[in-house]
Amino acid sequence: MRLSRALPSRPRVGAAVSGLVALGALTACGGSESAEEGDSAGSGDPLVVYVGRDEELVGPLLEQFGEETGIEVDARYAGTTDHLALLLEEGEQTPADVFLSQDAGALGALSAAGMARDLPAEITDAVLPDFTSTDGSWVGVTGRARVIAYNPEAVEEAEVPTTVAEVTDEQWRGRVGVAPTNASFQAFVTGFRAAEGDDAAGAWLEALAANDPQTFEGNSDVLEALENGVVDLGLINHYYAYQLAGEVGEENVATELVFPEAGDPGALVNVTGAAVLSEHPDAEELVSYLVSEEGQQYFVDSTYEYPLVEGIEAPAGLPALTDLQGPIEDLAELADLETSIALIDEAGLS
Amino acid sequence: MAAALCALSPLVYLLVRSAQLGADGAVDTLLRERLWSWTLASAVLVLAVTTTCLVAGTVIAWLLTATRLPGRRWWLVVSALPLAVPSYVAAFSWLSTVPTLQGFWPTWAVLSAACLPYVVLPTAAALRGADLALVEVARAAGCGPLAAWRRGLVPQVLPAAAAGALLAGLYALADFGTPALMRHEVLPFAIQRQYGSFLGRERAALLALVLVAMAVLMVLLERRARGNAQRWSTGAGAPRPLRAVRLGWWAVPATVLVALPVVVGAVWPVIGLFRRLALGTRRTLDWSELTDALVATATVSLAGGAVALVLAGFVGTLAARHRGRLVAGLESASFAGHALPGIVVGLSLVYLSLRVVPGLYQSVTVLAFAYVVLFLPKAVGAVRTSVAAVPPVLAQVAGTLGRNRHRAGLVTARLALPGVTAGFLLVVVTAMKELPATLLLRPSGLDTLATEMWSRTSSAAQGAAAPYALALVLVASVPAFLLTRTSAWDRS
């Protein structure tokens, strides 16, 4: 009976087989395409850039760079941590020429692995010395300040803590939003440890955890929770609120920001930055473009981050970068994430 | 053999990386209390999702095939829809409307809804092909009514339901996106987190091996449920289909049960996407970019499906026709990749392709290969079930009639074709939605709908991601819809 039912399906076999052949051709195509790419290895190679930042933000700038210089840029986007894992896995064989990182820690780790090449002084000297590598293995591109964000419908400005220590106060029980697994929070904890020691940082994390905070995946989730009134305080980076205002209009954003006191662990200013990973002749040109007047102005206008080159105005409404004093001198100290992640883990926040 | 090597390739990488931790590092990692709470959370989630899918899926399949539920043909098509919605999109959509949905229950609900079709579709097909005569034989042989059902009908349906439940469970085990969005801390979540640090890869590899161990346990359980019986029949007699049961007022709760997963897994998420779209965005939609992503998505997923199909053909046929440790090991091995989060499989293929075929690094070939590693079990299960239902005597008869071995084998292949097609479609529909491995391994300039969507959700441009998410749901609906039509899933 099965037989009689199946026999009329003979033509479908033909169809399926020809479909398979077509698919085989497709895969073969894919293969040869990439082989061509491999063959073209030589002088006219496109500049391969691993970007650990949003395509929406960085894409237009890289396009602009390509148009102005005629350099062909091949940008690959993924999260900064994914890229770090990928780069460490690829090692010497990485096709990447430049890495644009979302934070200083990943650049420090890359540099510690010996993958970042020394940059010429004219690039590293272009930016404020507090906001770049101390050994010239990578360069800071933009600054991102940690802030205590609050919803003014729930909290008076005068009541808002100005140090992270106050955030663990009983009155904020269950009202604080954090993104403890996010790279920006991990960097903040690393800065905390570097400035005040592992024990102090661990004790603060325990106190925060004991205060029943609400945890989120990313800064924008914390911001959304602030906007929705799910939390009243949030520890985030400054520009998220600005970007949201740019997206939906300033009048539609309730959240306000407080910049913690100078020297407070919560006042960390982390940087995004770039490292050169190969001898590609155009790699340094891209990095130098990022710290040029044009590149810096682009970031100010579209990402609301701090420029790191003197003479470029910060986004309107922000306190001056030089007035913000973070807890640490050398941002490379942010590379030591291991213990931070372990501490966050142990506190039960992850 | 090739298939096993292929599926085992991530294991090689995981062992190499874990070994770098050294004995002390490994013990240190394994003894961390958090590891066990993550593992327990994973085990509970997997158990809950699998049980829900097995029980609800079987009941829904029965409602859609053996009752007079109004509109049941239509409901069968609709019940495949959650397959077309990536579970992270469903989670994201739910959260954008109800931000407080966090923890175990919402994660369980979204994953169960997303995975139910894996049970409903094959079980419905098995029920359609079921032969009631066997129940009557059991009755005639002196069984009570319940025992007769258990002995006559359950064995005809259980393998399909169990195979589907295994796929659902493995999905829940490996999924990172949904628990991450809903803040439910399970093992894949912990693995992903390790990558942020310098030594993290080694620790992540060790945690991934814990996932693999859990997956092996599940595969063994499923094999036990499947049992050792032969499941083919010949004969000219038509099978006695199940009598359609009248539901009366029961039709109301029945319809609710059938509709609920569709609403949770597809309807509400899609409404959420339209809502996001309506909120607007300052970015204008670039149609050519959308079309390119659509073509790229179709191309790479079809390529992955085709390669998976070829390999699954071998493994599935072996598993259906032969028993023994080697074949069992081979089949279990093919499930290893399916238990791993995409990023782990992605990194393992980075490791291997740079060592073995550096020229193909970041090409469509390696990407398609990653899809095979990730999704091979979907095809293997379907091929195995359908080949097992083809009487081996047919190929033997073809042989005695003068066909050579290969052409005789084609007789089996042709009869098993519908099931094989189902396996192919399952791989395609899942590969379309894959994100983490695609991000790492795709050729530069190749953007799939999933990667385009990802690049827009991470910034404050979620409105701009909605068209890509909708396009993805739309294109993934095609294989999902075809899955409801492919008549055999049929065991016969």
Helix (H, G, I), strand (E, B) or coil at A270: strand
Distance from CA of A77 to the nearest CA of B (A): 7
Question: What values do phi and psi take at A43, rounded to 5?
Answer: -70, -45
What confidence category does residue A48 fall into, taking pLDDT thresholds of 50, 70 and 90? very high
CB contact under 8 A, A34 and B362: yes
Distance from CA of A169 to the nearest CA of B (A): 24
- Say yes or no to pLDDT of A171 above 60: yes
Question: What values do phi and psi take at A336, rounded to 5?
Answer: -80, 70
Distance from CA of A80 to the nearest CA of B (A): 8
Query: ∠B437-B208-B41 over CA atoms, to 5°?
Result: 110
Residues of A in contact with B234 (CB under 8 A): 1-3
CB contact under 8 A, B368 and A27: yes
* Rounded Cα gap, residues A305 and B459, in angstroms: 14
**A87 in contact with chain B, both atoms CB, cutoff 8 A:** no
Nearest-by-Cβ selection for A30 from B365, B444, B464:
B365
What's the token pair of residue B339?
Answer: 């238990």
Average pLDDT over residues A302-320: 90
Contacts of B76 (CB under 8 A, 6+ apart): B64, B65, B120, B124, B484
- By CB neighbour count within 10 A (0-12 exposed, 13-18 middle, 19+ buried), where does A314 fall? middle
For chain A positions 99-128, those within 8 Å of chain B (CB to CB) are 109, 112-113
Nearest-by-Cβ selection for B417 from A12, A89, A218:
A12
The residues of chain B scoring below 50 in pLDDT are: 236, 460, 488, 490-492
**A9 in contact with chain B, both atoms CB, cutoff 8 A:** yes
CB contact under 8 A, B455 and A56: yes
The residue among A49, A82, A346 with the most chain B CBs within 10 A of its CB, best to mutate, is A82
Q: What is the pLDDT of residues B18-77, one digit of tens each?
A: 888 888 778 877 777 678 888 999 999 999 999 999 999 999 999 998 888 888 889 999
* Rounded Cα gap, residues B345 and B431, in angstroms: 13
Distance from CA of B56 to the nearest CA of A (A): 30
**A45 in contact with chain B, both atoms CB, cutoff 8 A:** no
Nearest-by-Cβ selection for A217 from B180, B198, B310:
B180
Q: Count Cβ neighbours within 10 Å for each residue of A196-205 and write b for 16 or more, e otherwise.
A: eeeeebbebb
Which of the pair, A259 or B466, is modelled with greater confidence? Answer: A259
Q: Looking at chain A, which residue has its C-alpha nearest residue B205?
A: A85
pLDDT at B112: 96
pLDDT at A7: 35
What confidence category does residue A24 fall into, taking pLDDT thresholds of 50, 70 and 90? very low
Residues of A in contact with B99 (CB under 8 A): 224-225, 228, 230
* Rounded Cα gap, residues A7 and B415, in angstroms: 8
Distance from CA of B459 to the nearest CA of A (A): 6
Are B374 and B342 in contact by the 8 Å Cβ rule? The answer is yes
Q: Looking at chain A, which residue has its C-alpha nearest residue B236?
A: A1
Average pLDDT over residues A322-326: 85
CB contact under 8 A, A56 and B464: yes
Distance from CA of B351 to the nearest CA of A (A): 6
CB contact under 8 A, A54 and B361: no
Distance from CA of B319 to the nearest CA of A (A): 21
Q: Locate tokens 């033909």: which residue? A: A14
CB contact under 8 A, B444 and A76: yes
Q: Count Cβ neighbours within 10 Å for each residue of A223-247 and write b for 16 or more, e otherwise.
A: bbbbbeebbbbbbbbbbbbbbbbbb
CB contact under 8 A, B236 and A240: no
Nearest-by-Cβ selection for A228 from B99, B194, B443:
B99
* Rounded Cα gap, residues B91 and B257, in angstroms: 20
Residues of B in contact with A85 (CB under 8 A): 195, 200-201, 204, 343, 347
What confidence category does residue A62 fall into, taking pLDDT thresholds of 50, 70 and 90? very high
Contacts of B255 (CB under 8 A, 6+ apart): B69, B70, B75
Q: Looking at chain B, which residue has its C-alpha nearest residue A105?
A: B197
The residue among B364, B417, B468 with the most chain A CBs within 10 A of its CB, best to mutate, is B364
pLDDT at A106: 87
pTM of the model: 0.81
pLDDT at B399: 76
> What is the dihedral sign for C-alpha B16, B20, B23, B29?
negative
What confidence category does residue A15 fall into, taking pLDDT thresholds of 50, 70 and 90? very low
CB contact under 8 A, A55 and B455: yes
Average pLDDT over residues A186-212: 94
Distance from CA of B442 to the nearest CA of A (A): 9
* Rounded Cα gap, residues A264 and A82, in angstroms: 30
Nearest-by-Cβ selection for B196 from A24, A186, A217:
A186
Residue B201 parent element (H or E): helix B200-226
pLDDT at B95: 83
**A63 in contact with chain B, both atoms CB, cutoff 8 A:** no
pLDDT at A49: 96
For chain A positions 210-229, those within 8 Å of chain B (CB to CB) are 215-218, 220, 224-225, 228
Distance from CA of B322 to the nearest CA of A (A): 22
Residues of A in contact with B372 (CB under 8 A): none
What's the token pair of residue A307?
Answer: 């420029």
* Rounded Cα gap, residues B187 and B34, in angstroms: 10
pLDDT at B63: 92
Mean per-residue pLDDT of chain A: 84
pLDDT at A11: 38
Residue A343: what residue type?
L
pLDDT at A26: 40
Q: What distance lies between CA B419 and its chain's CA centroid?
A: 15
What confidence category does residue A256 fall into, taking pLDDT thresholds of 50, 70 and 90? very high
What confidence category does residue A20 fall into, taking pLDDT thresholds of 50, 70 and 90? very low
- By CB neighbour count within 10 A (0-12 exposed, 13-18 middle, 19+ buried), where does B355 fall? exposed
Residue B383 parent element (H or E): helix B364-388
pLDDT at A227: 92
The residue among A50, A55, A188, A216 with the most chain B CBs within 10 A of its CB, best to mutate, is A55
